[in-house]
Amino acid sequence: MNVSNVKPADGKLGIMLVGNGAVATTFMTGVFMTRKGLTKPVGSMTQYDKIRIGRGADKKYLKYEEIVPLARLDDIVFGCWDVYPQNAYQSAIYAEVLKEKDIEPVRAELEAIKPLPAAFDKNYVKRLDGDNVKRPTPSPSREGGEQIPTRWEMVEALREDIRAFKAANGCARIVVLWAASTEIYVPVDEHVHYRLADLEAAMKADDRERIAPSMCYAYAALTEGAPFIMGAPNTTVDIPAMWELAEKTRMPIAGKDFKTGQTLVKSGFAPIIGTRCLGLSGWFSTNILGNRDGLVLDEPANFRTKEVSKLSTLETILRPDVQPDLYGHGNDEDTQYCHKVRINYYPPRNDNKEGWDNIDIFGWMGYPMQVKINFLCRDSILAAPLCLDLCLLSDLAARAGRYGTQRFLSFFLKSPMHDYTVGEAPVNNLYQQYTLLKNAIREMGGYEADEELD
């Protein structure tokens, strides 16, 4: 008989979103519409996927909620922060992802969600300029009317937001998910990002170069007993100091960057090349995207953060050190296939992203072949079910006593977190990630984790 030690999902689950843009409003609208029976949560693993438990005559295929206690959609309460003051209904209309007829039935629910002032530093997202932002505490020592609160003031204000939201809405638990823009690239600095004490000292010293606003959200969430999920490629929780904080607070963290369109294809198609022992000379990926995310990524410093995330996927699946004949040629140094990623801001497409992949492979006796993939996807339509799954599964992990980096959530993420300080490689192969996910659900349900990660 299976025995699960997961605490029940009693009471309301507060989901606090950083960002009230296209992804966030599509997510919230879909949940509200599903609760009213007006749509279906297509694309959500937690709502549709079935996992085998047991073997032989005892084999059964069960939905996640039949194996582990998941929070119900009816128990979700939404809140958010954003630099723009428009409520979730106004923002959903502005985003133009969903048709008005699919928003109007839940207009009242969306209008009730008014964004809290964001912890914001324009230096990290130069293309955004909203005024719904946190202001500094008045002080005679501030020079020249400084308008940005210190990093520690951001942390304290965000912690108060979480406490107030939880109390006002009668929530039993909170999950915080970043669904906002990509920040400029913050390189990992051992003197600041490796130890929690150093990170806290840098926050209190208002080190604006090495402490991103997103780090303040993560720190606030974890210290308030809320799991934190990084849905952008920001450095944020992918640093040892945050791992230490997650261990200290016994809270789950997950990241980074939602795996929606092109990288989903890449993590699923690259294993075909590897499993079939075909060679790869080069993989060129380009995207056109016209929403606010595309606008932000049009800034080179912000694109650099995304580029690092998107480039990392392929290198851990098709490895030249393991198969030099197949993957050891193609770049200028002739040490590895050529891999390039481009993102182009193209306003006419809005949220309807288009990804093109040109894949140069070779087979028997080195003869070349090509694969072309043209994915005309909808960015927020693919991201919304990931948001739901990541929130429900992070809440589940917390109730199961799991804390620190949740590697089983890599299935949903573009650049999965891993302990790079000891040379650990991330798992990017989609099918291996799915095995991690299924085994974790089995374990939390009190069943045997009976699949090998080959």
Residue-by-residue DSSP string for 338-366 = EEEEEEEE-GGGTT--EEEEEEEEE-GGG
Please state, in angstroms and rounded to a whole number, the distance separating the CA atoms of residues 254 and 417. Answer: 7
Q: What is the pLDDT of residue 27?
A: 98
DSSP state of 308: H
Q: Is the pLDDT of residue 66 over 90?
A: yes
Confidence band, pLDDT 50/70/90 cuts, at residue 412 = very high
Query: Which fold would CATH assign to domain 262-376?
Result: Dihydrodipicolinate Reductase; domain 2 (3.30.360)
Q: Is the pLDDT of residue 190 over 60?
A: yes
Q: What is the pLDDT of residue 294?
A: 73
> What's the whole-number mean pLDDT along residues 168-180?
98
> What's the whole-number mean pLDDT along residues 146-172?
95
The answer to whether residues 411 and 389 touch, using CB atoms and an 8 Å cutoff, is no
Q: How many C-alpha atoms does 95 have within 13 Å on its Cβ side? A: 31
Confidence band, pLDDT 50/70/90 cuts, at residue 144 = low
Q: Is 373 helix (H, G, I), strand (E, B) or coil?
A: strand
For residue 111, give Cα distances in angstroms to 24, 86, 87, 170, 356. Answer: 14, 9, 6, 19, 37
> What's the whole-number mean pLDDT along residues 26-42?
98
Q: What is the pLDDT of residue 310?
A: 63
User: What are the φ/ψ torsions at residue 329 (nearest 5 degrees)?
Assistant: -140, 145
The distance of Cα 250 from the centroid of its chain, to the nearest Å, equals: 20
Q: Is the pLDDT of residue 342 over 80?
A: yes
CB neighbours (10 Å) of residue 131? 9
The distance of Cα 185 from the centroid of its chain, to the nearest Å, equals: 16
> What's the whole-number mean pLDDT along residues 147-154?
93
Q: What angle do CA 377, 340, 257 make, to 5 degrees?
A: 50
Q: Is the pLDDT of residue 297 over 60?
A: yes
Q: Is 337 helix (H, G, I), strand (E, B) or coil?
A: coil
- Which residues, 6 or more positions from 7, have their beta carbon under 8 angstroms from its beta carbon? 69, 399, 400
Q: What is the pLDDT of residue 148?
A: 87
Please state, in angstroms and rounded to a whole number, the distance separating the CA atoms of residues 166 and 158. Answer: 12
Q: What is the pLDDT of residue 59?
A: 94
Q: What is the pLDDT of residue 139?
A: 65
Q: Identify the weakest region by mean pLDDT among 230-244, 283-297, 337-351, 356-370.
A: 283-297
Please state, in angstroms and rounded to a whole number, the distance separating the CA atoms of residues 95 and 88. Answer: 10
Confidence band, pLDDT 50/70/90 cuts, at residue 413 = very high
Q: What is the pLDDT of residue 141?
A: 57
The percent of residues in the chain predicted with pLDDT above 90, rounded, is 83
Which sign does the torsion angle of CA 144, 149, 150, 156 carry? positive
Mean pLDDT score across all residues of the chain: 93
Q: What is the pLDDT of residue 453?
A: 82
E strand spans, 37-113: 50-53, 60-63, 76-82
- Which residues, 6 or more positions from 29, have their beta carbon under 8 angstroms from its beta carbon? 88, 92, 98, 102, 103, 106, 110
* CATH 3.40.50.720 assigned to 12-258+380-444: yes
User: What are the φ/ψ torsions at residue 279 (nearest 5 degrees)?
Assistant: -90, 155
> What's the whole-number mean pLDDT along residues 359-388?
96
Q: Is the pLDDT of residue 26 over 90?
A: yes
Confidence band, pLDDT 50/70/90 cuts, at residue 146 = low
pLDDT 10s digits, 375-389: 999 999 999 999 999
Q: What is the pLDDT of residue 127?
A: 85
Q: Is the pLDDT of residue 3 over 70?
A: no
User: What are the φ/ψ torsions at residue 139 (nearest 5 degrees)?
Assistant: -155, 140
The answer to whether residues 141 and 201 touch, using CB atoms and an 8 Å cutoff, is no
Domain ranges of the chain: 12-258+380-444, 262-376
Confidence band, pLDDT 50/70/90 cuts, at residue 306 = low
Please state, in angstroms and rounded to a whole number, the distance separating the CA atoms of residues 259 and 265. Answer: 9
The percent of residues in the chain predicted with pLDDT above 70, rounded, is 96
> What's the whole-number mean pLDDT along residues 39-53?
98
Please state, in angstroms and rounded to a whole number, the distance separating the CA atoms of residues 155 and 108. Answer: 31
pLDDT 10s digits, 68-107: 999 999 999 999 999 999 999 999 999 999 999 999 999 9
The answer to whether residues 391 and 372 touch, using CB atoms and an 8 Å cutoff, is no
pLDDT 10s digits, 97-143: 999 999 999 999 999 999 999 999 999 998 888 899 999 877 655 55
